[in-house]
Amino acid sequence: MSRSVISMGGKFAVVLGTVMALTGCNNSEQKPAEEQQPTQQVVKSGCATVDLTEVEQQAVEAAIAGRVKTQARANGSVNVNVYWHVINNGTTVALGNITDAQIASQISVLNAAYANTPFRFTLVSTDRTTNSTWYTSSGGASEKKMKAALRKGGAGDLNVYSNNMGGGLLGWATFPSSYASQPSLDGVVILYSSLPGGTAAPYNEGDTATHEIGHWLGLYHTFQGGCTGTGDSVSDTPAEASSAFGCPTGRDTCSGGGLDPITNFMDYTDDSCMNTFTAGQNDRMDSLVAQYRGL
């Protein structure tokens, strides 16, 4: 399942939507009848970050196994330079041409979200491109062309692309371990209306970027692997059977381990609900970027 939203007469209504093939999850729920007939097309849903294969995951765990907790850097000690690429289909905000003030606000949201982590984000540059194909890119050949043309910096530099990806998506990211083989694809793509003050309520407080950058720094979804196995490879995030939506306080889908981590930035809950990275996630991000991004 994915975070999904249908636009109804200009207002967004949350529904439990389409099963994402990428997650292999197969427990979609019926939509309320009134939401089956939107006045517009489906506007957006979840995160399309492609999971690493089992073999790739094992290689990552082996690579960071030697890093001990005492090596973790202090809060705020690792600067990440941000190169923002606005993809629009015209000059107005409604056509993806978000304002510099919105981008500044997004950077502030990131620095608040990551306040208890080693990471701070500094906007270095913003460029703007009008391209109708890139504007609706949700991956594939158009993504390759867009990133080949616009990407800046190296493994430790964060490239953010904002567009109107459609297909019910909020965004996607690449993992640190993928940089070596596909450096030009490295980065984060987010729905332009997910920025603070955007129209993608309840996902318009900037935490889509927080979530996707969590992947870029090495985190998996909290529901990865469900109730069994190593899950998200973070010990202090209780396992959960599937992604959570809205803000379902008290949800507990896996026996033991505590309640589902619905307030975690790496779940699928509303932006107003997600507000947490755990100490274990901080350690994992620190290890992953030290190993793969030279940060």
Judged by the rule CB under 5 A, the positions of this chain that interact with Ca ion are 207, 231-232, 234, 237, 252, 254, 257, 271, 274-275
Sequence letter at residue 262: I
CA angle in degrees (0–180, nearest 5) for 151-157-160: 55
**Is 212 considered catalytic here?**
yes
DSSP assignment, residue 34? G
| Residue 125 CB, nearest approach to Ca ion (Å) | 26
Binding partner of residue 49 among Ca ion, Zn ion, none, CB cut-off 5 to 8 Å per kind: Zn ion
The answer to whether residue 264 forms part of the interface with Zn ion (CB under 5 A) is no
17 CA to centre of own chain = 18
| Residue 290 CB, nearest approach to Ca ion (Å) | 21
**Measured between alpha carbons, how far is 47 from 22 in angstroms, rounded to an integer?**
9
Binding partner of residue 157 among Ca ion, Zn ion, none, CB cut-off 5 to 8 Å per kind: none
Structure token digits, residue 262:
């619905």
**Measured between alpha carbons, how far is 91 from 98 in angstroms, rounded to an integer?**
9
C-beta closer to Zn ion: residue 89 or 261: 261
- Exactly one of 47, 82, 200, 241 binds Zn ion (CB under 5 A); that residue is 47
The answer to whether residue 210 forms part of the interface with Zn ion (CB under 5 A) is no
**Measured between alpha carbons, how far is 209 from 104 in angstroms, rounded to an integer?**
13
Angstrom CA distances, 50 to 44, 147, 224, stand at 17, 17, 12
| Residue 275 CB, nearest approach to Ca ion (Å) | 5
The answer to whether residue 208 forms part of the interface with Zn ion (CB under 5 A) is no
Catalytic residue among 143, 205, 212, 240: 212
- Exactly one of 2, 4, 45, 49 binds Zn ion (CB under 5 A); that residue is 49
Active site residues: 212
